């Protein structure tokens, strides 16, 4: 039996059972905008931006949550669809404080982009918006509830991708809010500060505190690199302005799939730290470190290794290497110890 098919914007396409309409559209080069959809997590259908027409359905359907069906006829680009999407963007804009000029997300905000695409220049709906104060106490993440559109991506990222289960929906109606257990600040909760919620937030509700004011998206260059902290090899983008790293975000690497841990995402202060060692140090007779050249340092180590080996044998020496070195460097290190020094006493910090 062949693959099931559906018609989307007049085009007959095949799909795999289990795919949603949104996934089928994407696989066939048809763009359906969405604010809440997060790849590899359970669809929530929260934002109502991905609405499409399905022949026979009484209402527009959220394509992110609707499974594709054999023989379906789907339209993604009709006036009804666009009027509804535009209205939902307007309602989201009216639901909080969306003064883009003062927002850190200006220039990379998905709500802002949709408002622009739909030519929205005024907030049509006026009403009372919720008044939760921003949470700025912890050193890494700012939570500005006045900009939260309750899309739930942070919840999905925390619970289903990182599996930290630190946040969820709290309260009801206009008082709805993303909360930790007991609605405590991040630093007093189960949050481990991986920052994945910040990574996926489509608007300015969650932002990296250290990056505030250091550069708009159009002022920074993205440089792809590998995280230096451990052997997993997560891919990341350094956001660089005037030669300085101002922010780090995850890239879609084979081993990390757009995820990072707290060290990779937030631990980049060392790059410009004045305390970094820039030259080898040798402890002098008086017990104080003196700057030395690499030749001097390596000659001293070789001399001491030889003396220990001569007096106690090669197994009196051991080498411990690091996951921060590359595979190639670690290979050379063990070779140095096995073939050069003559001992198998070699180990690695990442071995469990
Ligand atoms: S969250 Fe987006 S739409 Fe709202 S103020 Fe910030 S940039 Fe503007
Ligand atoms: S920083 Fe990580 S653990 Fe904390 S709420 Fe966000 S996703 Fe969850
Ligand atoms: S904090 Fe961001 S990701 Fe979380 S619900 Fe609000 S807008 Fe969505």
Condensed to tens digits (0 to 9), the pLDDT of residues 180-202 reads: 999 999 999 999 999 999 999 99
How far, in Å, is the centroid of ligand 1 from the Cα of 332? Answer: 50
Pocket of ligand 3 (CB under 6 A): 148-154, 178, 200-201, 203, 205-206
The separation between CA 318 and the C-alpha centre of its own chain, rounded to angstroms, equals 39
Q: Would you state the pLDDT for residue 350? A: 72
Inter-CA distances, 195 with 44, 82, 192, 247, Å: 21, 33, 8, 12
Distance, in Å, from the CA atom of 264 to the CA atom of 233, rounded to the nearest integer, reads 10
The whole-chain average pLDDT of the chain stands at 95
**Proximal ligand: closest to the CA of 147:** 1
What percent of the chain is modeled with pLDDT above 70? 99
Q: Which fold has domain 5-77?
A: Ubiquitin-like (UB roll) (3.10.20)
Q: Which atom of ligand 2 is nearest to the CA of 157?
A: 7
Give tens-digit pLDDT for 255-294: 999 999 999 999 999 999 999 999 999 999 899 999 999 9
Are residues 9 and 63 in contact, defined by beta-carbon separation less than 8 angstroms?
no
Q: Would you state the pLDDT for residue 152? A: 97
Residue 346 has pLDDT above 90, yes or no: yes
What percent of the chain is modeled with pLDDT above 90? 91
Q: Would you state the pLDDT for residue 22? A: 98
Inter-CA distances, 108 with 33, 103, 140, Å: 15, 10, 19
Q: Which atom of ligand 2 is nearest to the CA of 196?
A: 7
- Can you tell me which residue has the tokens 């902290």? 229
Domain spans of the chain, in order of start:
5-77, 126-272, 313-348
Q: Would you state the pLDDT for residue 352? A: 55
Query: How sure is the predictor about 325, in pLDDT bands with cuts at 50, 70 and 90?
Result: confident
Residue 314 has pLDDT above 80, yes or no: yes
What does the block give as tokens for 100? 């883009």
126-272: CATH number: 3.30.70.20
**Residue 96 in 3-state DSSP?**
coil
Q: Would you state the pLDDT for residue 344? A: 97
Distance, in Å, from the CA atom of 242 to the CA atom of 66, rounded to the nearest integer, reads 46
Give tens-digit pLDDT for 120-129: 998 888 877 7
Distance, in Å, from the CA atom of 138 to the CA atom of 180, rounded to the nearest integer, reads 14
In the predicted model, what is the mean pLDDT of residues 9-30? 97
How far, in Å, is the centroid of ligand 1 from the Cα of 72? Answer: 36
How far, in Å, is the centroid of ligand 2 from the Cα of 115? Answer: 28
In the predicted model, what is the mean pLDDT of residues 285-313? 96
Burial class, 74, CB count within 10 angstroms (exposed 0-12 / middle 13-18 / buried 19+): buried
Determine which residue's CA is closest to atom 4 belonging to ligand 1.
98
How far, in Å, is the centroid of ligand 2 from the Cα of 30? Answer: 32
């Amino acid at each position: 039996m062949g693959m099931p098919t559906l018609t989307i914007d007049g085009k007959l396409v095949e799909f795999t059972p289990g795919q949603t309409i949104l996934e089928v559209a994407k696989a066939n080069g048809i763009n359906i905008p969405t604010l809440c959809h997060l790849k590899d997590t359970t669809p929530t259908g929260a934002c109502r931006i991905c609405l499409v027409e399905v022949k026979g359905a009484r209402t527009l359907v959220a394509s992110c949550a609707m499974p594709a069906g054999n023989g379906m006829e789907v339209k993604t680009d009709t006036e009804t669809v666009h009027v509804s999407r535009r209205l939902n963007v307007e309602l989201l804009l009216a639901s909080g404080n969306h003064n883009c000029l003062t927002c850190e997300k200006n220039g990379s905000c998905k709500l802002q982009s949709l408002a622009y695409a739909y030519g929205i220049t005024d907030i049509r709906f006026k009403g009372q918006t919720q008044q939760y104060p921003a949470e700025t106490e912890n050193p890494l993440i700012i939570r500005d509830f006045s900009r939260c559109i309750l899309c739930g991506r942070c919840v999905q990222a925390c619970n289903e991708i990182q599996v930290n289960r630190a946040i969820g929906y709290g309260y009801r109606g206009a008082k709805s809010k993303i909360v930790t257990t007991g609605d405590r600040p991040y630093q007093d909760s189960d949050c481990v500060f991986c920052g994945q919620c910040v990574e996926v937030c489509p608007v300015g509700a969650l932002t990296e505190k250290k990056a505030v004011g250091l550069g708009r998206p159009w002022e920074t260059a993205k440089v792809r690199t590998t995280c230096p902290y451990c052997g997993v090899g997560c891919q990341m983008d350094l956001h660089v302005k005037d030669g300085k790293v101002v922010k780090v975000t995850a890239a879609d690497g084979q081993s990390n799939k757009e995820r990072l841990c707290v060290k990779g995402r937030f631990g980049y202060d060392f790059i410009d730290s004045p305390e970094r060692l820039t030259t080898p140090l040798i402890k002098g007779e008086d017990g104080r470190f003196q700057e030395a050249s690499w030749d001097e340092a390596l000659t001293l180590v070789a001399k001491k290794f030889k003396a220990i080996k001569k007096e106690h044998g090669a197994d009196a020496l051991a080498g411990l290497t690091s996951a921060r070195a590359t595979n190639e460097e670690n290979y050379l290190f063990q070779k140095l110890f096995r073939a050069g020094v003559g001992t198998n006493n070699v180990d690695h910090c990442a071995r469990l």
